[in-house]
Structure 1
Amino acid sequence: MVTATFRFYEELNDFLAPERRKHEFDCRCARAATTKHMIEALGVPHTEVEFILVNGESAGFDRLLQQGDRVAVYPMCETLDITPLLRVREYPLRVTRFIADVHLGGLARLLRMAGFDTLYETYFRDEEISAISARDNRIVLTRDRELLMRREITHGCYVRELKSSRQLREIFERLDLVGSMRPFTLCLHCNTPLQSIGKERAKHVVPSGVLSRYEKFSTCEVCHGIFWEGTHWERMQALLAGLVPPA
Protein backbone atom coordinates (compact mmCIF):
# COMPACT_ATOMS: atom_id res chain seq x y z
CA MET A 1 0.00 0.00 0.00
CA VAL A 2 1.03 3.61 -0.59
CA THR A 3 -0.42 6.82 0.80
CA ALA A 4 -1.24 9.80 -1.43
CA THR A 5 -2.71 13.21 -0.64
CA PHE A 6 -5.77 14.30 -2.63
CA ARG A 7 -7.49 17.63 -3.21
CA PHE A 8 -10.62 17.99 -5.35
CA TYR A 9 -11.80 21.36 -6.63
CA GLU A 10 -15.09 23.14 -7.24
CA GLU A 11 -18.13 20.96 -8.02
CA LEU A 12 -16.13 17.72 -7.79
CA ASN A 13 -16.50 18.07 -4.03
CA ASP A 14 -20.20 17.24 -4.42
CA PHE A 15 -19.25 13.60 -5.03
CA LEU A 16 -17.03 13.24 -1.95
CA ALA A 17 -17.90 12.23 1.57
CA PRO A 18 -18.60 15.44 3.57
CA GLU A 19 -15.46 15.15 5.68
CA ARG A 20 -13.26 15.16 2.55
CA ARG A 21 -14.69 18.20 0.81
CA LYS A 22 -12.71 21.38 0.02
CA HIS A 23 -9.46 20.41 1.71
CA GLU A 24 -6.55 18.02 1.33
CA PHE A 25 -6.82 14.54 2.76
CA ASP A 26 -4.62 11.46 2.84
CA CYS A 27 -5.79 8.18 1.36
CA ARG A 28 -4.21 4.74 1.26
CA CYS A 29 -3.95 3.25 -2.23
CA ALA A 30 -3.02 -0.14 -3.64
CA ARG A 31 0.50 -0.19 -5.10
CA ALA A 32 -0.80 -0.62 -8.65
CA ALA A 33 -3.55 2.00 -8.30
CA THR A 34 -3.85 4.62 -11.04
CA THR A 35 -5.20 8.13 -10.67
CA LYS A 36 -8.42 7.05 -12.41
CA HIS A 37 -8.90 4.09 -10.07
CA MET A 38 -8.52 6.21 -6.94
CA ILE A 39 -10.56 9.17 -8.21
CA GLU A 40 -13.51 6.86 -8.87
CA ALA A 41 -12.92 4.88 -5.66
CA LEU A 42 -13.41 8.19 -3.84
CA GLY A 43 -16.76 8.67 -5.63
CA VAL A 44 -15.95 11.01 -8.53
CA PRO A 45 -16.86 9.78 -12.06
CA HIS A 46 -13.94 10.13 -14.47
CA THR A 47 -16.16 11.96 -16.97
CA GLU A 48 -16.39 14.90 -14.55
CA VAL A 49 -12.61 15.41 -14.47
CA GLU A 50 -10.90 17.78 -16.91
CA PHE A 51 -7.29 17.60 -15.75
CA ILE A 52 -5.09 16.26 -12.96
CA LEU A 53 -1.89 17.49 -11.36
CA VAL A 54 0.38 15.05 -9.53
CA ASN A 55 3.12 16.78 -7.54
CA GLY A 56 2.42 19.92 -9.55
CA GLU A 57 2.81 18.24 -12.94
CA SER A 58 0.10 17.39 -15.45
CA ALA A 59 -0.91 13.71 -15.42
CA GLY A 60 -3.33 11.37 -17.17
CA PHE A 61 -5.73 8.77 -15.83
CA ASP A 62 -3.12 6.03 -16.22
CA ARG A 63 -0.55 7.57 -13.87
CA LEU A 64 0.50 5.01 -11.22
CA LEU A 65 0.39 6.51 -7.75
CA GLN A 66 3.46 6.39 -5.55
CA GLN A 67 4.14 6.99 -1.88
CA GLY A 68 3.75 10.65 -0.96
CA ASP A 69 2.15 11.78 -4.24
CA ARG A 70 0.04 14.93 -4.04
CA VAL A 71 -2.92 14.73 -6.41
CA ALA A 72 -5.03 17.76 -7.41
CA VAL A 73 -8.17 16.99 -9.43
CA TYR A 74 -10.04 19.67 -11.40
CA PRO A 75 -13.32 19.88 -13.30
CA MET A 76 -13.79 21.99 -16.42
CA CYS A 77 -12.71 25.49 -15.43
CA GLU A 78 -13.49 28.45 -17.70
CA THR A 79 -11.44 30.93 -15.65
CA LEU A 80 -8.17 28.99 -15.69
CA ASP A 81 -5.89 28.74 -18.73
CA ILE A 82 -4.96 25.06 -18.98
CA THR A 83 -3.50 25.22 -22.49
CA PRO A 84 -0.06 23.92 -21.41
CA LEU A 85 -1.59 21.09 -19.35
CA LEU A 86 -2.52 17.56 -20.33
CA ARG A 87 -6.24 17.03 -20.59
CA VAL A 88 -7.31 13.59 -19.42
CA ARG A 89 -9.25 12.85 -22.62
CA GLU A 90 -7.22 12.30 -25.77
CA TYR A 91 -9.55 14.12 -28.13
CA PRO A 92 -12.57 16.43 -28.09
CA LEU A 93 -15.76 15.33 -29.79
CA ARG A 94 -16.07 16.91 -33.24
CA VAL A 95 -19.86 16.85 -33.14
CA THR A 96 -21.86 17.47 -29.97
CA ARG A 97 -24.32 14.59 -29.66
CA PHE A 98 -25.95 13.18 -26.57
CA ILE A 99 -27.56 10.09 -25.13
CA ALA A 100 -29.74 10.59 -22.04
CA ASP A 101 -30.70 8.03 -19.43
CA VAL A 102 -34.24 7.07 -18.47
CA HIS A 103 -34.63 9.90 -15.93
CA LEU A 104 -33.89 12.74 -18.36
CA GLY A 105 -36.63 12.55 -20.97
CA GLY A 106 -37.60 16.20 -20.49
CA LEU A 107 -34.02 17.35 -20.96
CA ALA A 108 -33.67 15.17 -24.07
CA ARG A 109 -36.69 16.85 -25.68
CA LEU A 110 -35.38 20.32 -24.85
CA LEU A 111 -31.97 19.53 -26.33
CA ARG A 112 -33.68 18.30 -29.50
CA MET A 113 -35.65 21.54 -29.55
CA ALA A 114 -32.33 23.41 -29.50
CA GLY A 115 -31.09 21.29 -32.42
CA PHE A 116 -28.84 18.79 -30.62
CA ASP A 117 -28.98 15.15 -31.68
CA THR A 118 -30.09 13.43 -28.46
CA LEU A 119 -30.95 9.75 -28.14
CA TYR A 120 -33.45 8.79 -25.46
CA GLU A 121 -35.50 5.66 -24.90
CA THR A 122 -37.10 4.50 -21.67
CA TYR A 123 -35.91 0.96 -22.33
CA PHE A 124 -32.18 1.78 -22.62
CA ARG A 125 -30.17 -0.21 -20.07
CA ASP A 126 -26.89 1.10 -18.69
CA GLU A 127 -24.83 -1.27 -20.81
CA GLU A 128 -26.68 -0.12 -23.94
CA ILE A 129 -26.08 3.53 -23.10
CA SER A 130 -22.36 2.98 -22.58
CA ALA A 131 -22.05 0.93 -25.79
CA ILE A 132 -23.93 3.50 -27.90
CA SER A 133 -21.91 6.32 -26.36
CA ALA A 134 -18.64 4.62 -27.32
CA ARG A 135 -19.84 3.62 -30.79
CA ASP A 136 -21.34 6.98 -31.77
CA ASN A 137 -19.09 9.31 -29.73
CA ARG A 138 -22.02 10.62 -27.71
CA ILE A 139 -21.94 12.50 -24.41
CA VAL A 140 -23.81 10.59 -21.71
CA LEU A 141 -26.27 12.66 -19.66
CA THR A 142 -27.32 11.09 -16.38
CA ARG A 143 -27.97 11.55 -12.68
CA ASP A 144 -26.41 8.14 -12.01
CA ARG A 145 -22.74 8.48 -11.08
CA GLU A 146 -22.21 4.71 -11.34
CA LEU A 147 -23.14 4.86 -15.03
CA LEU A 148 -20.48 7.52 -15.66
CA MET A 149 -17.84 5.27 -14.09
CA ARG A 150 -18.19 2.68 -16.85
CA ARG A 151 -14.89 2.29 -18.67
CA GLU A 152 -16.40 2.59 -22.17
CA ILE A 153 -17.74 6.09 -21.49
CA THR A 154 -15.23 8.82 -22.30
CA HIS A 155 -17.51 11.87 -22.29
CA GLY A 156 -20.38 12.44 -19.91
CA CYS A 157 -22.14 14.94 -17.67
CA TYR A 158 -23.60 14.33 -14.26
CA VAL A 159 -26.78 16.43 -14.25
CA ARG A 160 -27.34 18.14 -10.91
CA GLU A 161 -30.56 20.08 -11.49
CA LEU A 162 -33.95 18.38 -11.16
CA LYS A 163 -36.20 20.51 -13.39
CA SER A 164 -35.73 20.02 -17.14
CA SER A 165 -35.50 23.74 -18.01
CA ARG A 166 -32.80 24.20 -15.37
CA GLN A 167 -31.04 21.06 -16.58
CA LEU A 168 -30.95 22.59 -20.05
CA ARG A 169 -29.31 25.75 -18.72
CA GLU A 170 -26.84 23.66 -16.70
CA ILE A 171 -25.73 21.69 -19.77
CA PHE A 172 -25.61 24.80 -21.96
CA GLU A 173 -23.37 26.61 -19.49
CA ARG A 174 -21.12 23.65 -18.80
CA LEU A 175 -20.55 22.77 -22.47
CA ASP A 176 -20.87 26.29 -23.91
CA LEU A 177 -23.58 25.25 -26.37
CA VAL A 178 -25.13 28.60 -27.27
CA GLY A 179 -23.07 29.06 -30.43
CA SER A 180 -23.96 25.57 -31.68
CA MET A 181 -27.75 25.84 -31.43
CA ARG A 182 -29.90 25.02 -34.47
CA PRO A 183 -33.37 25.52 -32.98
CA PHE A 184 -36.41 23.68 -34.32
CA THR A 185 -34.51 21.48 -36.77
CA LEU A 186 -35.16 18.13 -35.03
CA CYS A 187 -38.33 16.29 -34.10
CA LEU A 188 -38.93 16.55 -30.36
CA HIS A 189 -40.41 13.06 -30.30
CA CYS A 190 -38.01 10.93 -32.34
CA ASN A 191 -34.87 13.05 -32.91
CA THR A 192 -35.24 13.00 -36.72
CA PRO A 193 -34.35 16.08 -38.84
CA LEU A 194 -37.47 18.06 -39.77
CA GLN A 195 -38.41 18.80 -43.37
CA SER A 196 -40.15 21.98 -44.53
CA ILE A 197 -43.47 21.45 -46.29
CA GLY A 198 -45.88 23.75 -48.10
CA LYS A 199 -49.38 24.71 -47.01
CA GLU A 200 -50.84 22.48 -49.71
CA ARG A 201 -49.48 19.39 -48.00
CA ALA A 202 -50.12 20.70 -44.49
CA LYS A 203 -53.80 21.43 -45.14
CA HIS A 204 -54.65 17.74 -45.02
CA VAL A 205 -53.41 17.31 -41.44
CA VAL A 206 -53.72 20.63 -39.56
CA PRO A 207 -56.89 22.46 -38.44
CA SER A 208 -58.17 25.05 -40.91
CA GLY A 209 -57.69 27.83 -38.36
CA VAL A 210 -54.01 26.97 -38.06
CA LEU A 211 -53.62 26.87 -41.83
CA SER A 212 -55.04 30.37 -42.19
CA ARG A 213 -52.84 31.91 -39.47
CA TYR A 214 -49.42 30.41 -40.23
CA GLU A 215 -47.24 30.21 -43.32
CA LYS A 216 -44.37 27.92 -42.27
CA PHE A 217 -44.80 24.21 -41.58
CA SER A 218 -42.42 21.30 -41.11
CA THR A 219 -42.84 17.58 -40.70
CA CYS A 220 -41.04 14.55 -39.34
CA GLU A 221 -40.85 11.80 -41.94
CA VAL A 222 -40.64 9.13 -39.22
CA CYS A 223 -43.48 9.92 -36.81
CA HIS A 224 -45.33 12.17 -39.32
CA GLY A 225 -45.79 14.97 -36.80
CA ILE A 226 -46.52 18.45 -38.17
CA PHE A 227 -45.04 21.57 -36.56
CA TRP A 228 -45.78 25.28 -36.94
CA GLU A 229 -44.85 28.52 -35.16
CA GLY A 230 -47.76 28.63 -32.72
CA THR A 231 -47.93 29.48 -29.02
CA HIS A 232 -45.94 26.39 -28.05
CA TRP A 233 -43.19 27.47 -30.47
CA GLU A 234 -43.23 30.95 -28.90
CA ARG A 235 -42.76 29.50 -25.40
CA MET A 236 -39.86 27.36 -26.57
CA GLN A 237 -38.32 30.34 -28.38
CA ALA A 238 -38.48 32.35 -25.15
CA LEU A 239 -36.81 29.51 -23.23
CA LEU A 240 -33.94 29.37 -25.71
CA ALA A 241 -33.57 33.15 -25.78
CA GLY A 242 -33.09 33.07 -22.02
CA LEU A 243 -30.01 30.87 -22.47
CA VAL A 244 -28.15 33.48 -24.52
CA PRO A 245 -25.95 35.66 -22.27
CA PRO A 246 -26.42 39.43 -22.61
CA ALA A 247 -24.04 41.15 -25.01
Structure 2
Amino acid sequence: MVTATFRFYEELNDFLAPERRKREFASTCARAATTKHMIEALGVPHTEVELILVNGESVGFDRLLQGGDRVAVFPKFEMLDVTPVLRVREHPLRLIRFVADAHMGGLAHLLRMAGFDTLYDNNFHDKEIEAIVVRDGRIVLTRDRELLKRRAITHGCYVHALKPPQQFCEIFERLDLGRGAHPFTLCLECNVPLHPIGKAEVLTRLPPSVRERFETFSTCDNCHRVFWEGSHWRRMRDLLNECMGIEPIPKIASGI
Protein backbone atom coordinates (compact mmCIF):
# COMPACT_ATOMS: atom_id res chain seq x y z
CA MET A 1 0.00 0.00 0.00
CA VAL A 2 1.08 3.58 -0.69
CA THR A 3 -0.35 6.90 0.45
CA ALA A 4 -1.23 9.82 -1.81
CA THR A 5 -2.76 13.22 -1.08
CA PHE A 6 -5.91 14.25 -2.95
CA ARG A 7 -7.75 17.51 -3.55
CA PHE A 8 -11.01 17.72 -5.52
CA TYR A 9 -12.37 21.00 -6.85
CA GLU A 10 -15.74 22.68 -7.33
CA GLU A 11 -18.74 20.38 -7.88
CA LEU A 12 -16.65 17.22 -7.62
CA ASN A 13 -16.80 17.75 -3.87
CA ASP A 14 -20.49 16.82 -3.97
CA PHE A 15 -19.46 13.19 -4.49
CA LEU A 16 -17.10 13.04 -1.51
CA ALA A 17 -17.70 12.23 2.13
CA PRO A 18 -18.35 15.51 4.00
CA GLU A 19 -15.08 15.43 5.89
CA ARG A 20 -13.11 15.31 2.60
CA ARG A 21 -14.78 18.19 0.81
CA LYS A 22 -12.82 21.30 -0.24
CA ARG A 23 -9.63 20.25 1.49
CA GLU A 24 -6.57 18.09 0.98
CA PHE A 25 -6.71 14.62 2.48
CA ALA A 26 -4.49 11.57 2.46
CA SER A 27 -5.71 8.20 1.25
CA THR A 28 -4.05 4.82 1.04
CA CYS A 29 -3.86 3.26 -2.42
CA ALA A 30 -3.27 -0.30 -3.48
CA ARG A 31 -0.01 -0.87 -5.30
CA ALA A 32 -0.48 -0.37 -9.04
CA ALA A 33 -3.65 1.67 -8.41
CA THR A 34 -4.36 4.13 -11.22
CA THR A 35 -5.75 7.63 -10.94
CA LYS A 36 -9.08 6.37 -12.33
CA HIS A 37 -9.28 3.59 -9.76
CA MET A 38 -8.65 5.91 -6.83
CA ILE A 39 -10.85 8.77 -8.06
CA GLU A 40 -13.79 6.38 -8.39
CA ALA A 41 -12.95 4.58 -5.15
CA LEU A 42 -13.33 7.96 -3.45
CA GLY A 43 -16.78 8.33 -5.00
CA VAL A 44 -16.30 10.47 -8.13
CA PRO A 45 -17.36 9.01 -11.52
CA HIS A 46 -14.58 9.39 -14.08
CA THR A 47 -16.98 11.00 -16.56
CA GLU A 48 -17.19 14.05 -14.28
CA VAL A 49 -13.43 14.68 -14.45
CA GLU A 50 -11.83 16.96 -17.02
CA LEU A 51 -8.29 17.45 -15.70
CA ILE A 52 -5.99 15.55 -13.34
CA LEU A 53 -2.70 16.94 -12.07
CA VAL A 54 -0.26 14.68 -10.26
CA ASN A 55 2.57 16.64 -8.68
CA GLY A 56 1.61 19.52 -10.96
CA GLU A 57 1.75 17.47 -14.18
CA SER A 58 -1.29 16.75 -16.34
CA VAL A 59 -1.90 12.99 -16.50
CA GLY A 60 -4.47 10.53 -17.79
CA PHE A 61 -6.66 8.03 -16.01
CA ASP A 62 -4.03 5.30 -16.42
CA ARG A 63 -1.30 7.01 -14.37
CA LEU A 64 -0.02 4.65 -11.65
CA LEU A 65 0.03 6.33 -8.26
CA GLN A 66 3.11 6.28 -6.07
CA GLY A 67 3.71 7.07 -2.43
CA GLY A 68 3.77 10.80 -1.77
CA ASP A 69 1.94 11.79 -4.96
CA ARG A 70 -0.22 14.90 -4.74
CA VAL A 71 -3.33 14.55 -6.90
CA ALA A 72 -5.55 17.49 -7.91
CA VAL A 73 -8.79 16.63 -9.70
CA PHE A 74 -10.86 19.19 -11.62
CA PRO A 75 -14.30 19.17 -13.28
CA LYS A 76 -15.18 20.75 -16.62
CA PHE A 77 -13.85 24.30 -16.90
CA GLU A 78 -16.52 26.75 -18.07
CA MET A 79 -14.31 29.79 -18.66
CA LEU A 80 -10.80 28.41 -19.11
CA ASP A 81 -9.39 26.48 -22.07
CA VAL A 82 -7.36 23.61 -20.63
CA THR A 83 -6.89 21.82 -23.96
CA PRO A 84 -3.07 22.19 -23.93
CA VAL A 85 -2.82 20.14 -20.71
CA LEU A 86 -5.88 17.92 -21.02
CA ARG A 87 -5.15 14.21 -21.16
CA VAL A 88 -8.05 12.37 -19.61
CA ARG A 89 -9.89 11.87 -22.94
CA GLU A 90 -7.93 11.51 -26.15
CA HIS A 91 -10.94 11.24 -28.46
CA PRO A 92 -13.59 13.98 -28.14
CA LEU A 93 -17.04 13.21 -29.52
CA ARG A 94 -17.77 14.66 -32.96
CA LEU A 95 -21.53 14.59 -32.51
CA ILE A 96 -23.51 15.58 -29.45
CA ARG A 97 -25.91 12.67 -28.94
CA PHE A 98 -27.31 11.39 -25.68
CA VAL A 99 -28.63 8.25 -24.06
CA ALA A 100 -30.72 8.83 -20.94
CA ASP A 101 -31.24 6.23 -18.25
CA ALA A 102 -34.64 4.97 -17.16
CA HIS A 103 -35.18 7.82 -14.69
CA MET A 104 -34.42 10.65 -17.13
CA GLY A 105 -37.55 10.54 -19.30
CA GLY A 106 -38.53 14.15 -18.70
CA LEU A 107 -35.04 15.39 -19.52
CA ALA A 108 -34.92 13.22 -22.66
CA HIS A 109 -38.21 14.76 -23.82
CA LEU A 110 -36.89 18.29 -23.37
CA LEU A 111 -33.60 17.55 -25.15
CA ARG A 112 -35.50 16.14 -28.12
CA MET A 113 -37.59 19.30 -28.09
CA ALA A 114 -34.35 21.27 -28.43
CA GLY A 115 -33.30 19.11 -31.38
CA PHE A 116 -30.77 16.82 -29.69
CA ASP A 117 -30.73 13.14 -30.63
CA THR A 118 -31.56 11.46 -27.30
CA LEU A 119 -32.23 7.75 -26.88
CA TYR A 120 -34.50 6.84 -23.99
CA ASP A 121 -36.48 3.82 -22.85
CA ASN A 122 -37.80 3.40 -19.33
CA ASN A 123 -36.74 -0.24 -19.52
CA PHE A 124 -33.08 0.48 -20.28
CA HIS A 125 -30.69 -1.51 -18.08
CA ASP A 126 -27.12 -0.45 -17.35
CA LYS A 127 -25.63 -3.07 -19.68
CA GLU A 128 -27.85 -1.88 -22.52
CA ILE A 129 -26.78 1.71 -21.99
CA GLU A 130 -23.13 0.67 -21.94
CA ALA A 131 -23.60 -1.24 -25.21
CA ILE A 132 -25.28 1.79 -26.81
CA VAL A 133 -22.34 3.99 -25.79
CA VAL A 134 -19.86 1.57 -27.35
CA ARG A 135 -21.93 1.35 -30.53
CA ASP A 136 -22.93 5.00 -30.99
CA GLY A 137 -20.52 7.09 -28.91
CA ARG A 138 -23.29 8.79 -26.94
CA ILE A 139 -23.15 10.86 -23.76
CA VAL A 140 -24.84 9.17 -20.80
CA LEU A 141 -27.27 11.22 -18.69
CA THR A 142 -27.99 9.77 -15.27
CA ARG A 143 -28.14 10.27 -11.52
CA ASP A 144 -26.56 6.84 -11.01
CA ARG A 145 -22.89 7.38 -10.27
CA GLU A 146 -22.16 3.63 -10.47
CA LEU A 147 -23.35 3.61 -14.08
CA LEU A 148 -20.90 6.38 -14.91
CA LYS A 149 -18.04 4.38 -13.41
CA ARG A 150 -18.34 1.65 -16.05
CA ARG A 151 -15.13 1.48 -18.05
CA ALA A 152 -16.75 1.62 -21.50
CA ILE A 153 -18.60 4.84 -20.67
CA THR A 154 -16.14 7.58 -21.56
CA HIS A 155 -18.54 10.54 -21.76
CA GLY A 156 -21.35 11.16 -19.33
CA CYS A 157 -23.02 13.68 -17.06
CA TYR A 158 -24.16 13.14 -13.52
CA VAL A 159 -27.35 15.21 -13.40
CA HIS A 160 -27.56 17.09 -10.11
CA ALA A 161 -30.99 18.71 -10.50
CA LEU A 162 -34.11 16.71 -9.65
CA LYS A 163 -36.78 18.27 -11.87
CA PRO A 164 -36.68 18.04 -15.70
CA PRO A 165 -36.70 21.81 -16.42
CA GLN A 166 -33.80 22.39 -14.05
CA GLN A 167 -32.02 19.29 -15.40
CA PHE A 168 -32.45 20.66 -18.91
CA CYS A 169 -30.90 24.02 -18.05
CA GLU A 170 -28.10 22.31 -16.11
CA ILE A 171 -27.08 20.20 -19.10
CA PHE A 172 -27.44 23.14 -21.49
CA GLU A 173 -25.09 25.28 -19.42
CA ARG A 174 -22.63 22.53 -18.60
CA LEU A 175 -22.20 21.33 -22.19
CA ASP A 176 -22.70 24.74 -23.84
CA LEU A 177 -25.43 23.34 -26.09
CA GLY A 178 -26.92 26.60 -27.34
CA ARG A 179 -25.08 26.69 -30.66
CA GLY A 180 -26.06 23.10 -31.49
CA ALA A 181 -29.75 23.43 -30.71
CA HIS A 182 -32.34 23.11 -33.48
CA PRO A 183 -35.63 23.39 -31.62
CA PHE A 184 -38.68 21.42 -32.74
CA THR A 185 -36.94 19.44 -35.48
CA LEU A 186 -37.27 15.99 -33.84
CA CYS A 187 -40.31 13.93 -32.96
CA LEU A 188 -40.68 14.00 -29.19
CA GLU A 189 -41.85 10.39 -29.14
CA CYS A 190 -39.65 8.74 -31.76
CA ASN A 191 -36.46 10.84 -31.75
CA VAL A 192 -36.44 11.03 -35.56
CA PRO A 193 -36.46 14.15 -37.77
CA LEU A 194 -39.72 15.92 -38.54
CA HIS A 195 -40.44 17.20 -42.03
CA PRO A 196 -42.91 19.77 -43.38
CA ILE A 197 -46.24 18.57 -44.71
CA GLY A 198 -48.97 20.45 -46.53
CA LYS A 199 -52.14 21.32 -44.68
CA ALA A 200 -54.30 19.64 -47.31
CA GLU A 201 -52.57 16.32 -46.67
CA VAL A 202 -53.51 16.29 -42.98
CA LEU A 203 -56.71 18.33 -43.01
CA THR A 204 -59.00 15.44 -42.08
CA ARG A 205 -56.83 14.60 -39.08
CA LEU A 206 -56.94 18.05 -37.53
CA PRO A 207 -59.34 19.28 -34.84
CA PRO A 208 -61.67 22.02 -36.15
CA SER A 209 -59.98 24.75 -34.10
CA VAL A 210 -56.58 23.80 -35.51
CA ARG A 211 -57.87 23.85 -39.09
CA GLU A 212 -59.05 27.41 -38.58
CA ARG A 213 -56.01 28.82 -36.77
CA PHE A 214 -52.89 27.18 -38.22
CA GLU A 215 -51.33 26.82 -41.66
CA THR A 216 -47.89 25.29 -41.05
CA PHE A 217 -47.47 21.65 -40.10
CA SER A 218 -44.80 18.98 -39.79
CA THR A 219 -44.98 15.25 -39.36
CA CYS A 220 -43.01 12.21 -38.21
CA ASP A 221 -42.63 9.39 -40.73
CA ASN A 222 -42.33 6.86 -37.94
CA CYS A 223 -45.41 7.48 -35.77
CA HIS A 224 -47.23 9.74 -38.28
CA ARG A 225 -48.10 12.32 -35.65
CA VAL A 226 -48.79 15.81 -36.98
CA PHE A 227 -47.31 18.87 -35.26
CA TRP A 228 -48.40 22.49 -35.45
CA GLU A 229 -47.97 25.77 -33.64
CA GLY A 230 -49.69 25.42 -30.30
CA SER A 231 -50.21 27.49 -27.19
CA HIS A 232 -49.41 24.68 -24.78
CA TRP A 233 -45.81 24.74 -26.05
CA ARG A 234 -45.31 28.31 -24.84
CA ARG A 235 -43.80 27.13 -21.57
CA MET A 236 -41.41 24.89 -23.47
CA ARG A 237 -40.29 27.77 -25.68
CA ASP A 238 -39.84 29.96 -22.62
CA LEU A 239 -37.65 27.29 -21.05
CA LEU A 240 -35.50 27.12 -24.17
CA ASN A 241 -35.17 30.88 -24.22
CA GLU A 242 -34.16 30.92 -20.57
CA CYS A 243 -31.53 28.19 -20.93
CA MET A 244 -30.19 29.26 -24.30
CA GLY A 245 -30.23 33.00 -23.70
CA ILE A 246 -31.82 33.75 -27.08
CA GLU A 247 -34.71 35.84 -28.34
CA PRO A 248 -38.10 34.10 -28.35
CA ILE A 249 -38.22 31.44 -31.04
CA PRO A 250 -41.13 30.93 -33.47
CA LYS A 251 -44.05 29.00 -32.05
CA ILE A 252 -44.52 25.44 -33.20
CA ALA A 253 -45.80 22.10 -32.22
CA SER A 254 -48.75 20.65 -30.63
CA GLY A 255 -49.47 17.27 -32.09
CA ILE A 256 -51.79 14.38 -32.75
TM-score higher than 0.5: yes
Count residues in correspondence. Answer: 247
Residue 168 of structure 1 aligns with which residue? 168
CA distance in 2, matches of 1:101, 1:244: 24
Residue 244 of structure 1 aligns with which residue? 244
Map 1:87-236; keep pairs closer than 5 Å. Answer: 87-236=87-236
Structure 2: stretches of 5+ with no match in the other structure: 248-256
Whether the 8 Å CA contact 1:5–1:24 is kept in 2: the answer is yes
Whether the 8 Å CA contact 2:50–2:86 is kept in 1: the answer is no
Residue 38 of structure 2 aligns with which residue? 38
CA distance in 2, matches of 1:54, 1:77: 18
Question: Which amino acid letter does the alignment assign opposite residue 115 of structure 2?
Answer: G
Whether the 8 Å CA contact 1:35–1:61 is kept in 2: the answer is yes
How far apart are residue 99 of structure 1 and its match?
0.3
Map 1:1-80; keep pairs closer than 5 Å. Answer: 1-80=1-80
Percent identity for Structure 1 against Structure 2: 70
Structure 1: stretches of 5+ with no match in the other structure: none
Whether the 8 Å CA contact 1:52–1:88 is kept in 2: the answer is yes
How far apart are residue 204 of structure 1 and its match?
1.8
Cα deviation, 1:53-102, whole Å, max 9, x if unaligned, reads 00000000000000100000000012333132023111211110000001
CA distance in 2, matches of 1:125, 1:83: 34
Whether the 8 Å CA contact 1:134–1:154 is kept in 2: the answer is no
Aligned-pair Cα RMSD in Å: 1.2
Cα deviation, 1:115-171, whole Å, max 9, x if unaligned, reads 000000011100000110121010000000000000110000000001100000000
Whether the 8 Å CA contact 1:190–1:222 is kept in 2: the answer is yes
How far apart are residue 222 of structure 1 and its match?
1.1
> What is the TM-score with the length of structure 2 in the denominator?
0.94
Question: Which amino acid letter does the alignment assign opposite residue 230 of structure 1?
Answer: G
CA distance in 2, matches of 1:195, 1:84: 42
Question: Which amino acid letter does the alignment assign opposite residue 156 of structure 1?
Answer: G
Moved over 6 A (4+): none
Question: Which amino acid letter does the alignment assign opposite residue 83 of structure 2?
Answer: T
CA distance in 2, matches of 1:179, 1:212: 35
